[in-house]
Amino acid sequence: MSTIKDAYLKEIEQRGYNVDPIQLRVAEEYDKLKTKIMNDEPAVDTSKVSFFQKLMKTVPDNAKRYQDPRGIYIYGRVGRGKTFLMDLFYNNIDVPKIRSHYYHFMQDVHNELRSFAGEADPLKLVAKSYAKKCKVLCVDEFHVIDITDAMILYRLLESFLDEGIFFITTSNREPDELYKNGLQREKFLPAIEIIKKRLVSVPLDSDNDYRMRHLEAADVWFTGSVEEQQKHFEAAFDELVGHSDGPITRDINGHSFEMLKVGGDATWFTFKEACAKPRASQDFIKLASEYGTVFLSGVPLLDRNRQNEARRFVIMIDEFYDQGVKVVIGAETSLADLYESKGTNALDFEFDRTMSRLIEMQSETYLHQPKRQA
């Protein structure tokens, strides 16, 4: 059986990189999990199997017990290779599987919950629905900032694991730091215990930030006044797109969204339109799926008075990055000075990741890659 370690070493050699011993240890943890998955069989509580079921050699679901650990939680700072290693694992295991970004995953979960509205235990039904489709569920960028998600994650994760699904995820935070300073965080604490007790938590904290490896700054961050941004973007958008329409109002998930220009798969809208209004992650998923290039102007200094806007900005950049959308930004300040840190504010940690992504999104490597499908 091929191993994740072998796949890692081969990929590193092909790219001409040096082996990172910390990444190598993570690959070995993935191999332990792969072996467990390929040999996974539930234990059976015979006291819950009726005589007729024994006769017919059938086992009811409530008699099956799956052995822990049932997954892996990889955490560490941005740019250390968490997604790279999870993708190696995903691409080298031959079982029914699903890979999703956290925001997409939670959107799918909420859609499924709506379909089970009125049922006694809808989260259990969601888990059963997933169990019919996959044995392995990989969720990249486990990042809880929404109270609605936080309230259901304990029962959701518990139900997935009880249904025999292996849950593999990556995060920038160690388990105890998840949803830190979040509203009603005490109700999320059982989800943290599930992660710590039923998954293997593995740190990936190399000193190397691999996103910086091929960084070559491109002209996709413009600093100037709103008037200067307008003038610059008028010329840049026309140069890129040619013919365009606008201003135009689009319907995005039932909400109006004003765009200054639209042409081909490119659009131009303002920070105020995208982040100063009550947008949800589903809105940014929709935008990312429809446009390959986004011009975003009017980005202000994100100070203590703009925490809600900053949170939406973080979610939007996450989604654009995940789908490989090219983003041209016009801002009042430089990227380095964009966010006014509070030290104890819940967004400080999240914005570090956003800064790293914005830096990578300016690189030639990122700009030359094809857009990914949602």
- Domain interval for residue 354: 214-368
Residues 17 and 162 in one domain: yes
Q: Based on the domain organization, do 99 and 232 belong to the same domain?
A: no
Tell me which amino acid residue 130 is.
Y
Please compute, for residue 99, the number of CA atoms within 13 A of its CA located in the half-sphere on the CB side.
17
208 within a domain of the structure (yes/no): no
What CATH number is given to the structural domain containing 235? 3.40.50
Q: Which residues contact 18 (CB under 8 A, 6 or more apart)?
A: 12
The number of beta carbons lying within 10 Å of the beta carbon of residue 260 is: 20
* CA–CA distance, 167 with 158 (Å, rounded to integer): 10
Q: Which of 174, 203, 232 is the last residue before a domain boundary?
A: 203
Whether residues 148 and 295 share a domain: the answer is: no
Q: Which of 143, 170, 203 is the last residue of a domain?
A: 203
The answer to whether residues 181 and 264 belong to one domain is: no
Q: Does residue 257 form part of some domain?
A: yes
d(CA 209, CA 80): 5
Contact status, residue 273 vs residue 312, Cβ threshold 8 Å? no
CA distance 67 to 163: 11
Please count the CA atoms within 13 angstroms of the CA of 272 that sit on its side-chain side.
4
The structural domain count of the chain equals 2
What is the separation of C-alpha 99 from the centre of its chain, rounded to a whole number of angstroms? 10
Round to whole Å and give the CA distance between 155 and 123. Answer: 7
Given 203, 232, 250, which residue is the final one in a domain?
203
Same domain, 224 and 324: yes
Evaluate whether residue 374 is within a structural domain: no
Please give the Cα distance from 111 to 105 (Å, whole number).
10
What CATH number is given to the structural domain containing 104? 3.40.50.300
* Residue 373 maps to a domain: no
Element (H, E) at 99: strand 97-101
Q: What stretch of H or E contains 167?
A: strand 166-171
Q: Are residues 277 and 183 in the same domain?
A: no
On whether residue 93 sits in a domain, the answer given is yes
| Contact (CB, 8 A) for 199 and 26 | no
Per-residue pLDDT of the chain (374 residues; tens, 9 = 90+): 689 999 999 998 988 888 999 999 999 999 999 999 999 987 766 666 665 666 666 656 665 778 889 999 999 887 788 989 999 999 999 999 999 989 889 989 999 999 998 899 999 999 999 999 999 999 998 988 888 899 999 999 999 999 999 999 999 889 998 988 788 889 999 999 999 999 999 999 876 666 555 444 457 899 999 999 999 898 888 888 877 888 999 999 999 999 999 988 899 999 999 999 999 889 999 999 999 999 999 999 998 788 889 989 999 999 999 899 999 999 999 888 888 766 555 577 778 888 888 988 888 778 878 887 65
Q: What is the pTM of this model?
A: 0.68
